[in-house]
Amino acid sequence: MTVDELLVQLKPAVAESAAKFDLRVQWSGRTCMFSGAALGYLKVGETSLVLAARLIGYVALLHRKMIETEITRALDSVIR
């Protein structure tokens, strides 16, 4: 799959996951910046995805495993 094809599928999956955790997302080219209960980015490269996130606040830290599971599910649904 090309990077453009991946982005077409990835953007709705990211939006769905972000809505579950009340995150704001902003795409700029191949990079998605997000903020809210977590701060970070998802960068789509030619042969890689880089995800960096920092949870903010006590509630987010309590739900860390659930957040990690949801992110993994969303990415796996696109990258099979």
What confidence tens digit (pLDDT) does each residue in 28-62 have? 999 999 999 889 999 999 999 999 998 888 877 78
| Averaged pLDDT score across all residues of the chain | 89
Residue 68 — pLDDT band, cuts 50, 70, 90? confident
pLDDT, position 42: 94
- Residue 37 burial (10 A CB sphere; 0-12, 13-18, 19+): middle
pTM of the model: 0.83
Q: Reply yes or no on whether the pLDDT at 70 is more than 90.
A: no
pLDDT, position 72: 86
Q: Return the number of other C-beta atoms located less than 10 Å from residue 53's C-beta.
A: 17
